[in-house]
Chains A and B, each alone.
Chain A
């Protein structure tokens, strides 16, 4: 169901459908000539930024980053994030063991925060993103409104996902008492950081305007390389 203008009660029309492109740098609207994309790279006449009708290969790129993030998500959770060396010995903690430790220690609130930031957020991000992409590729417009909500949630939680890495980085910098205690980031921290960065890239590559595109108002200058669902879905 396309969004409707409450005043006119007519379905909203996209710029693309009107044959217009909008620069994402300076918001200038330009009217491309026919077959503009086939001629080469198009630039904004005002700010010289690259201008597209839609982000090129948005879904394919999102998929690529998403898959990469998923692939690294396993080691991020299974491998130790921190290695603490003290007189008491050397101890390696994964994200989950840290949460369990906090929980057992009685710091339930802290455990909950870490759990949400480190486990719930990335998993939600990965799941929502894949749902979004699958649904888009299937051109299933029954879930258009739901997709929009999902995208907003995605935007909202995305900024919290680096919490763990911040903590680890700060601890690693602070806890460096020579020969008494030492904290080093483990391989899991690297993987986790990569997961976060990749999910960010995935959301960045995504073009939210695709959410509003109607199947019947596919604009003239559609990118030629828009992947088919069968070819790129994992």
Chain B
């Protein structure tokens, strides 16, 4: 309260020199009775500010969420701080950085996920990311919204529990997201056909799924497909299911005639896969097959007929050596046992083991037969036949004339197939079990044997003694003529003669008839059985020709299609 000492040079005009006592002519401030405010209240302001600042910062940090890295092949449409990551169209993150990887092969996209969005638990090992762009495909049009808004990164949450922060981005959008109920299966095929990601899967022509992905197997010979069958159809995939390419139109002109296979108009354009359960011949029809487990692997057959063959549980290879032309025989041509398909031709080659011993190289036809493929009743053999079992069974059959033979499947196309049959009167042979595969004896082609038998008929006809036969016949005819003259005379005698002479005439006639019988007997013996046989053959040939002509008249299409199998 003490005033500083008086300053003589104070320039405040109204201020008196003595500050301790204010100048009396100045008004005094009114003093209101009110307590001083507390100074500490003002410190609430920075405290509040710090609290607000901390809470804002904390919220920002909490909202930040985890940072992930996604690698893409290219960054088309991805922009830092612009491109968002969406899961089920919910914004769950944003791209913070786009740069090349160190080896310049890929694009490293750093993205910051939104916190408190529940996304943290979804960043697991099988979570997938892809760039959503407008896409026009056979399966439809998608991502049209991105035409205006620009691309965004789509996400599909995985089901694993292991968390992860680095991901490989997909090139294309997966057709099925993880939340669609259903199951994945694996198919192994020889080639891709006209399939693509998104190609439909058909069950009895109902679209039930899609192809998710395909990869080349490490051996470079097979394609592995990952397919997805949606619920509830996935339970129809059983251990007995067979899958086949239902792509486009399969036109098959084979020994069995012309086959055209299609699945649906879409699959004709876009390709597809069809599957169906193979009925197990041994199982009771009421038993529903066991469902296949998730990711079970199946073979993808090239066509339906391949797929629906009976189980090829066990195949046996045989080699057939033919001396005749195999023109018209193709790999894959059927092997039939008395008309039932039992296997197929796997290879056609020339036997190179020629040389001195074998100056005319044979054609080696390798076949594979599946004994279990035959629909069988009273099945006696067990599932897994060993080679010895097979040998025990084959050797007696071959001894009874079991041979392989090339036969014409269709006269028009000239396709050949391999027939296994018991053939009568063939030279004895045996299976050569020493070679690999064992060599089964063959019989000449049926056309060849027809030629042979015609030739033998011709040879037999050649040996008939036509000259002698004619001479005998001539003599007999002369005798007959004489006899007839005698008869003539006799008639004249009858005309002119009297009754007693009739006795003599009758005796003469008997003699003549006896002579005639003798002559005819001679003819019978000399012409012999040859002529009879020849005439019989000719009669039969004429009959069968007539039959063929009748049949063709009624079924002219059989020239193209062959004779239909008799209904069983």
CB <8 Å contact, A11 and B9 = yes
Q: Which residues of A contact B16 (CB under 8 A)?
A: 18
With contacts A13-B7, A18-B12, A45-B29 taken as known, whether A90 is within 8 angstroms of B57 at the C-beta atoms is no
CB atoms of A31 and B4 under 8 A apart: no
Measured CA separation A68–B384 after assembly (Å): 88
Contact B150 A89 (CB under 8 A): yes
In the complex, B498 has a CB within 8 A of chain A: no
Confirm or deny: A220 has a beta carbon within 8 angstroms of a beta carbon on chain B: yes
CA distance A31 to B26 in the complex (A): 6
Most central of B14, B22, B26, B29 by chain A CB within 10 Å: B29
Contact B34 A67 (CB under 8 A): no
Contact of B82 among A48, A88, A201 (CB under 8 A): A88
Q: Closest A-chain residue to B19, C-beta based?
A: A19
Closest to B56 in A: A75
Q: Indicate whether A72 reaches chain B with its CB closer than 8 angstroms.
A: yes
Cβ-based interface call for B23 (8 A): yes
Binary contact track B3-18/A, C-beta < 8 Å → 1, others 0: 1100101111011100
Distance in angstroms between the alpha carbons of A38 and B338 in the assembled complex = 130
Q: Is the CB of A32 within 8 A of B29?
A: yes
Would A21 and B9 be within 8 Å (CB), given that A31-B23, A221-B1 are in contact?
A: no
Would B39 and A225 count as touching, CB distance under 8 A?
yes
Q: Which of B46-54, B239-247, B282-290, B419-427 contacts A (4 or more CB under 8 A)?
A: B46-54
Is there a chain B Cβ closer than 8 Å to A102's Cβ? no
Q: Is the CB of B29 within 8 A of A51?
A: yes
User: If the complex has contacts A5-B11, A219-B3, are A68 and B49 also in contact, measured as CB distance less than 8 A?
Assistant: yes
Query: Per-residue CB proximity of B25-59 to A under 8 Å, as 1/0?
Result: 01111111111100100110110111011001101
Contact with B along A46-69 (1 / 0, CB 8 A): 101001000001001101111111
**B91 in contact (CB, < 8 A):** yes
CB of B83 within 8 Å of the partner chain:
yes
> What residues of B have a CB within 8 angstroms of the CB of A29 in the complex?
14, 26
Tell me the smallest distance from the CB of B521 to a CB of chain A, in Å: 117
Q: Nearest-CB distance from B564 to chain A (Å)?
A: 66
Whether, in the assembled complex, B152 has its beta carbon less than 8 Å from a beta carbon of chain A, the answer is: yes
Distance from B20 Cβ to chain A, minimum over Cβ atoms (Å): 7
B7 touches A17 (CB 8 A): yes
Bound Cα distance A30, B15 (Å): 10
A71:B46 contact, CB within 8 angstroms: yes
Once the chains bind, are B53 and A75 in contact (CB under 8 Å)? yes
- A229 at the binding interface (Cβ < 8 Å): no
Known: A10-B9, A29-B14, A31-B27. A19 touches B3 (CB 8 A): yes
Residue in B23, B32, B49 with the greatest tally of chain A CB atoms within 10 Å: B49
- List residues of chain B with CB within 8 A of the CB of A17: 3-4, 7, 10, 19
What residues of B have a CB within 8 angstroms of the CB of A217 in the complex?
4, 7
Total A-B residue contacts, Cβ distance less than 8 Å:
182
Residues from chain A with Cβ under 8 Å of B2 in the complex: 220
Chain A contact patch, size range: 35 or more
Contact B56 A79 (CB under 8 A): yes
In the assembled complex, the CB of B26 is this many whole angstroms from the nearest CB of chain A, namely 4
Q: Given A11-B9, A57-B39, A65-B46, A34 and B56 touching (CB < 8 A)?
A: no
Q: Does B380 contact A (CB under 8 A)?
A: no
Cβ-neighbour of B22 out of A14, A20, A51, A191 (below 8 A): A20
Q: Mark A184-202, 1 if CB is under 8 A from B, else 0.
A: 0001000100100010010
CA distance A164 to B443 in the complex (A): 101
Contacts of B325 in A (CB 8 A): none
Most buried by A among B20, B27, B56, B91: B56
For residue B3, which residues in chain A have a CB less than 8 angstroms away from its CB? 17, 19, 219-220
By the criterion CB–CB under 8 Å, are A218 and B50 in contact? no
Q: How far is the CB of B495 from chain A (nearest CB, A)?
A: 134
Chain A residues with Cβ below 8 Å from B50 are: 67-68, 71
Assess whether B81 is interfacial by the CB under 8 Å rule: yes
**Alpha-carbon distance between A48 and B57 when the two chains are bound, in angstroms:** 45
Q: A32-B28, A65-B45 are in contact. Are A78 and B60 (CB under 8 A)?
A: yes
Q: Mark A18-42, 1 if CB is under 8 A from B, else 0.
A: 1111000000111111111001111
- Whether B149 pairs with A33 at a CB distance below 8 angstroms is no
* CB of B2, distance to nearest CB on chain A (Å): 6
Tell me whether A194 and B19 are in contact in the complex, defined as CB-CB below 8 angstroms, given that A20-B14, A31-B28, A217-B7 are known contacts.
Answer: no
Does B148 belong to the interface (CB within 8 Å)? yes
Tell me, in angstroms, the Cα distance from A12 to B152 when the chains sit together.
71
Which of B31, B46, B57, B83 touches A41 (beta carbons < 8 Å)?
B31
A89 and B83 contact, CB distance less than 8 A: yes
B84 within 8 A of A: yes
User: How near does chain A come to B58, taking the closest CB pair, in angstroms?
Assistant: 10
Known: A48-B30, A64-B45. A13 touches B11 (CB 8 A): yes
Chain A residues in 8 Å Cβ range of B91: 90
A54 CA / B503 CA spacing, docked (Å): 192
Residue of B1, B9, B36 near A13 (CB, 8 A) is B9
- Name the distance in Å between B48's Cβ and chain A's nearest Cβ: 7
Given A40-B35, A74-B57, A221-B1, decide whether A30 and B14 contact each other with a Cβ distance below 8 A.
Answer: no
Within 8 Å by CB of B49, from A10, A39, A69, A216, lies A69
Give 8 pairs: A residue, B residue, CB < 8 Å, sorted on A: A13-B7, A13-B15, A15-B15, A18-B16, A20-B15, A36-B31, A42-B29, A201-B45
Besides A67-B46, A87-B148, 15 other CB < 8 A contacts?
A: A13-B11, A17-B19, A18-B10, A31-B24, A42-B32, A45-B29, A60-B42, A60-B43, A71-B50, A78-B57, A89-B149, A91-B82, A198-B49, A217-B7, A227-B39
Chain B contacts to A: CB under 8 angstroms? 1-4, 7, 9-12, 14-16, 19-24, 26-36, 39, 42-43, 45-46, 48-50, 52-53, 56-57, 59-60, 81-84, 91, 148-150, 152
5 closest A-B pairs by CB: A31-B22, A18-B15, A68-B49, A19-B19, A10-B9
